[in-house]
Amino acid sequence: MKIAVFSARRYDKTMLAEANAGAGHALRFLEDRLTAATAPLAEGCEAVCVFVNDNVDAEVLGILAAQGTRLVATRSTGYNHIDAQAAERLGIAVVRVTDYSPHSVAEFAVGLLLAVNRKIARASTRTRDGNFDLDGLMGFDLHGKTVGVIGTGKIGVIFARIMAGFGCTVVGYDKFPSPAFETLGGRYVGIDELLQCSDVVSLHCPLTPETHHIVDAASLARVKRGCILVNTSRGGLIDTECAIAALKSGQLGGLAIDVYEQEASLFFQDLSSTIITDDVIQRLVSFPNVIVTGHQAFFTVEAIGQIMRTTIESISDFERGQPLRNRIPANP
């Protein structure tokens, strides 16, 4: 099959080509994001392969369908960037990566927590400049603290297990409780209790209309004062302006995020020589108790390898007319 691969970075080109070696698909790598303006670049391709910041809405899908595209394969687990109902109406199948190394994201979330709590990034910058003073670098022991986990799927459970290993009390909130979470000693509570009792809150739930801005002014007003908030899931879970206000007031003691609601125009590109006009992200990175990374929690050899293999397998299944195990339903 001819496949247009959008948002293709060097690692995408290398590792997707490796996964495709035995399948023989014709890959057309495009560094552009998929938008209505760039969709014509996929003309003649039966499939398009996209990533989290590509725009796969009804307008884009209509253009793709008119050009003969019959399959959209996203190199991600989340699919809030795709209008699945529009795809169904247009006869376009949509597949995703339902499972890849959940350890990659869970471990990175722990790393972010440690970095913001123990001021590791600031300390590293100081010592590079010859400053070995400890003033302003004090954190707190995680041992004995309460960690709230919102979303206890595979990643959330692994994160909780690691935090339990630190000697933390782990509480969770999820509409669909996990026996694995309870087996490791986790206890389910209501969202209000979780916010009020947790020294750390880590987000591991998908972005849906129900979870959009699950962290807003009202929820931030209920968190334990000085709480550290970690987000490695989706940027839209947090109302960033409200988080900034909570940081300024001291209600939030720290913020560590690998995702950002307006990241599509920023992440996965080098903007170091340009003027960034997004005032919100500029304000965020100005706080000494904030760490922002560019959506890299998934970025390990194991995870990327599995993502690429699963993507190629789904495309090959489609080509052969076989059932699509990783198909996204029109009404999830």
- Which domains does the chain carry? 2-100+300-319 (3.40.50.720), 102-292 (3.40.50.720)
- Whether 143 sits among the annotated catalytic residues: the reply is no
Q: What does the pLDDT read at residue 332?
A: 56
**Residue with structure tokens 């979303």?**
151
- Whether 234 sits among the annotated catalytic residues: the reply is yes
Rounded distance between C-alpha atoms, residue 210 and residue 269, angstroms: 30
Q: 46, 295, 309, 313: which one is catalytic?
A: 295
Regions in the chain scoring below 50 on pLDDT: none
Rounded distance between C-alpha atoms, residue 253 and residue 255, angstroms: 7
27's enclosing H/E stretch is: strand 26-29
CB < 8 Å & 24+ apart, contacts of 87-91 = 87/56, 87/61, 87/330, 88/330, 90/61, 90/62, 90/65, 91/65
Q: What does the pLDDT read at residue 45?
A: 97
Structure tokens at 168: 């933390």
Q: 46, 261, 263, 313: which one is catalytic?
A: 263
Q: What does the pLDDT read at residue 109?
A: 98
- Whether 283 sits among the annotated catalytic residues: the reply is no
Residue 91 burial by Cβ neighbours in a 10 Å radius (0-12, 13-18, 19+): exposed
Rounded distance between C-alpha atoms, residue 261 and residue 236, angstroms: 5
Q: Report the interhelical angle of 10-19 vs 301-319 (nearest 10°).
A: 50
Residue type, 188: Y
Instruction: Say which DSSP state 287 is in.
Output: S
Q: What does the pLDDT read at residue 268?
A: 86
What is the C-alpha end-to-end distance of the chain, expressed in Å? Answer: 27
Q: 234, 261, 309, 313: which one is catalytic?
A: 234
Distances, alpha carbon 130 to alpha carbons 72, 123, 124, 136, 177, in Å = 51, 11, 10, 16, 49
Q: What does the pLDDT read at residue 330?
A: 73
Q: What does the pLDDT read at residue 71?
A: 98
> In sequence order, what are the beta bridge partners of 49?
5, 73
Residue type, 16: L
Rounded distance between C-alpha atoms, residue 227 and residue 318, angstroms: 47
